[in-house]
């Protein structure tokens, strides 16, 4: 069996094959028909062993698509051992910024006006640079402080090509390996593809900020930045500038001055409302996306990834939470079975 070699994906086939070899999965390389792309560049039966922490570095080296894929895999204890999950959970979505000349070109093209005409101030050095885009502090003509997220040049095309190569390999693994049949890699990748392409549409994120801000307006200790109408497109997102710091960077003194219990209570209640009442929730609440503002509130940032719950799902989740809180283990297990997807080898007992 051989893989259908799309010439534009050859480098990615090789990158993925080398990664699988490095972590001792020659069986997957062979069954997916990837031996041909390696040729004599690596000794198949002498692949170097690697520690779990190196996996995150390998994903970073492969670029934005694999950084995001690594973050997804960090939530899948059914696929990877705990040590690998821990390594990938610390995967840093930080890369070198792109030039201000490119920022100017993208913003001007998207907004239809030069930066100097649209903004009173616009800092050339980004506040943060990630794999999909970077954020610049700016001030609108009326004096409103904003953060402007600008999408990385050419990133959409790069991600689409990577996803095509990954999907081709996933289809072969699903068809020809026991691991593929068990974990259904195509389904995992399809959900990943949908989420990632939505994350690349900043207009969707602007809408998400609006919806979540309205839904959570009753919580006085939680803030969601507002998007600026007329200054946001699919590749540029302009929103309120939030003064504060990541919750992971708080000093011991910061923590002493905080009413941490009240903040945690509101955050917990806000998520219950999002999932069980509104059916619309912030689906990527890792610590890097939650800021402590200067006025001691919690800001929910980065609404590129959201999810929804249907009334039927909400009802089951409520039953599950009640069963857990009341110690009814059998009932909790029964509801969990209704929510999940059972596969052939599933041990219900």
302 catalytically annotated = no
Query: How crowded is residue 282: how many other Cβ atoms within 10 Å of its Cβ?
Result: 23
CB distance 38 to 5 below 8 Å = no
Query: Would you state the torsion angle of the CA atoms of residues 52, 56, 57, 62, taken in this order, to the nearest 10 degrees?
Result: 130
3-class state of residue 136 by DSSP:
strand
From the candidates 93, 190, 207, 284, which is the catalytic residue? 284
Phi, psi for 149 (deg, rounded to 5): -95, 125
CA distance 317 to 157: 38
Token representation of residue 275: 């999932």
CB distance 13 to 169 below 8 Å = yes
CA distance 289 to 325: 28
Provide the annotated active-site residues.
Answer: 284
């Amino acid at each position: 069996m051989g893989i259908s070699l799309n010439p534009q994906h050859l480098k990615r086939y090789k990158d993925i094959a080398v990664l699988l070899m490095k972590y001792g999965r020659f069986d997957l390389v062979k069954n997916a028909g990837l031996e041909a792309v390696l040729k004599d560049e690596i000794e198949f039966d002498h692949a170097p062993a690697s520690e779990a922490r190196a996996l995150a570095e390998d994903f970073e080296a492969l670029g934005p698509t694999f950084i995001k894929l690594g973050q997804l895999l960090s939530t899948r204890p059914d696929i990877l051992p705990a040590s690998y999950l821990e390594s990938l959970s610390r995967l840093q979505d930080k890369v070198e910024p792109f030039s201000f000349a490119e920022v100017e070109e993208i913003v001007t093209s998207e907004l239809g006006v030069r930066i100097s005409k649209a903004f009173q101030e616009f800092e050339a050095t980004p506040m943060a640079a990630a794999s999909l885009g970077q954020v610049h502090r700016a001030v609108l003509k009326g004096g409103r402080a904003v953060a402007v997220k600008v999408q990385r040049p050419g990133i959409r095309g790069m991600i689409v090509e990577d996803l095509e190569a990954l999907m081709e390999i996933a289809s072969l693994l699903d068809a020809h390996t026991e691991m593929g049949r068990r974990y259904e890699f195509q389904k995992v990748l399809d959900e990943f593809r949908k989420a990632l392409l939505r994350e690349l549409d900043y207009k969707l994120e602007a809408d998400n900020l609006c919806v979540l801000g309205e839904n959570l307006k009753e919580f006085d200790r939680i803030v969601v930045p507002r998007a600026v109408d007329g200054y946001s497109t699919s590749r540029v997102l302009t929103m309120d500038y939030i003064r504060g710091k990541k919750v992971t960077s708080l000093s011991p003194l910061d923590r002493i001055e905080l009413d941490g219990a009240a903040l945690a209570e509101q955050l917990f209640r806000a998520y219950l409302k999002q999932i069980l009442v509104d059916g619309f929730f912030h689906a990527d609440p890792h610590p890097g996306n939650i800021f402590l503002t200067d006025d001691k509130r919690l800001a929910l940032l980065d609404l590129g990834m959201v999810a929804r719950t249907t009334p039927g799902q909400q009802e089951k989740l409520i039953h599950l939470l009640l069963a857990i809180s009341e110690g009814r283990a059998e009932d909790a297990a029964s509801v969990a079975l209704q929510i999940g997807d059972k596969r052939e080898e599933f041990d219900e007992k």
